[in-house]
C-alpha cells in the first residue's frame, strides 16, 4: 500500500468515526484512536496525537455557533476549564511514560463506559432545587433558549463538578479523546444543568482541553502532520455530515449501532493491551 492509498483510507475511516461521534454526541475520538491503532497499526501515541488535533478542529466551529445561539454557559465553562486543563496536562505527561498496552486497557474501559452512556435517554426535565451558594457567588446561573423563550436555571454541585472535570481532563490527555461523556455527566448529573446547556458547554470546553494535551504530544514529536491532517479533515467532515443527518434520524437505533461498534472496539483494545499486541 502506497502513501496516497494509506492516507485516503485513514481519511475515510476518520470520516466514519466523525459521523458516528456526531450522531451520539460523544465525538469521533472514541472511534478514531482504536481505528488507527487496531486497523491501521499506527503507534498508539501517534494515534492519540492525531485524535487530539481532530478534537480541536471539530469542537471549535460548533462551539462558536452554540455560544452565539446562547446555549453555552461561558462562566461555567471557563471555571471548569481550570480543572480540565490541569488534568489534561497531567494525563498527557502520564501517557508519555505509560506502556501502550496499559493505555489500551484504560481506553477499552472508557469505551465500555461510553457505550453505556450512549444508551441512556437524555431529558431536560428536572426539579429546580433553588440557587446554590457557591454558584451564586461565582454568578454561574443562566438562561438558555427553550420552546417558550428563554428559560432560567440554577447551577449546583460546583465542587463535585470541578472534581469530575479534572478526571475528564486526565482522560482527554491520556487517551486523546474529548471525554465529553464525563464532562456531560459532571454538568448534567452533578451540577444539575439542563442537558442542552451541558452538551454545548462541554463542546465549548473540549477544544481548550485538547489543545493543552496536544502541546505536550507535539513537544515530544507524537503529532505527525501526515497522519493528523487526513484524520482531522475526515473527522471534521464526518461530524458536519452527522449533525445534518441527526435531525431526521432515529436516535435510538443510532445509539444501538454506536454502542455495538465501540463495544467491539473496547473488547479488542483490552484484549490487545493484555496480550501485548500494542
pLDDT in tens, 209-256: 888 888 888 988 999 999 999 999 998 888 778 767 765 666 567 667
262, 265, 223, 196: which is closest to 27 by C-alpha?
262
Look at residue 223 in the predicted model and tell me its pLDDT.
92
Between the ranges 28-32, 77-81, 187-191, 264-268, where is the mean pLDDT highest?
77-81
* Cell of residue 151, nine digits: 428559560
Give the number of domains in the chain. Answer: 1
Angle, vertex CA 26, rays to CA 94 and CA 54, nearest 5: 60
CA–CA separation, 115 and 270 (whole Å): 15
Q: What is the C-alpha separation between 100 and 107, in angstroms, rounded?
A: 10
Task: Mark out the alpha helices in 25-157 (DSSP H runs).
Answer: 29-34, 44-69, 74-95, 100-119, 133-137
> Containing domain of residue 75, as a range?
3-275
Predicted model pTM: 0.79
Amino acid at each position: 500500500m502506497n502513501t496516497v492509498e494509506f492516507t485516503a483510507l485513514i481519511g475515510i475511516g476518520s470520516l466514519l468515526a466523525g459521523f458516528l461521534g456526531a450522531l451520539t454526541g460523544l465525538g469521533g475520538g472514541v472511534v478514531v484512536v482504536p481505528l488507527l491503532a487496531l486497523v491501521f497499526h499506527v503507534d498508539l501515541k501517534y494515534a492519540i496525537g492525531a485524535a487530539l488535533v481532530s478534537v480541536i478542529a471539530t469542537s471549535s466551529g460548533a462551539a462558536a455557533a452554540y455560544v452565539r445561539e446562547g446555549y453555552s454557559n461561558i462562566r461555567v465553562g471557563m471555571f471548569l476549564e481550570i480543572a480540565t486543563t490541569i488534568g489534561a496536562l497531567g494525563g498527557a505527561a502520564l501517557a508519555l511514560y505509560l506502556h501502550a498496552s496499559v493505555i489500551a486497557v484504560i481506553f477499552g474501559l472508557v469505551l465500555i463506559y461510553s457505550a453505556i452512556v450512549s444508551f441512556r435517554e437524555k431529558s431536560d426535565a428536572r426539579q429546580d432545587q433553588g440557587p446554590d451558594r457557591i454558584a451564586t457567588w461565582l454568578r454561574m446561573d443562566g438562561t438558555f433558549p427553550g420552546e417558550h423563550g428563554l428559560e432560567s436555571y440554577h447551577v449546583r454541585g460546583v465542587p463535585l463538578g470541578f472534581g469530575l472535570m479534572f478526571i475528564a481532563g486526565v482522560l482527554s490527555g491520556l487517551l486523546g479523546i474529548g471525554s465529553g461523556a464525563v464532562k456531560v455527566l459532571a454538568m448534567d448529573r452533578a451540577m444539575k444543568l439542563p442537558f442542552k446547556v451541558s452538551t454545548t458547554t462541554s463542546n465549548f470546553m473540549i477544544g481548550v482541553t485538547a489543545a493543552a494535551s496536544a502541546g505536550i504530544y507535539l513537544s515530544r514529536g507524537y503529532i505527525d502532520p501526515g497522519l493528523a491532517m487526513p484524520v482531522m479533515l475526515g473527522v471534521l467532515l464526518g461530524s458536519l455530515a452527522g449533525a445534518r443527518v441527526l435531525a431526521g434520524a432515529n436516535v435510538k437505533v443510532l445509539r444501538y449501532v454506536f454502542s455495538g461498534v465501540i463495544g467491539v472496539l473496547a473488547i479488542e483494545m483490552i484484549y490487545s493491551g493484555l496480550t501485548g499486541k500494542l
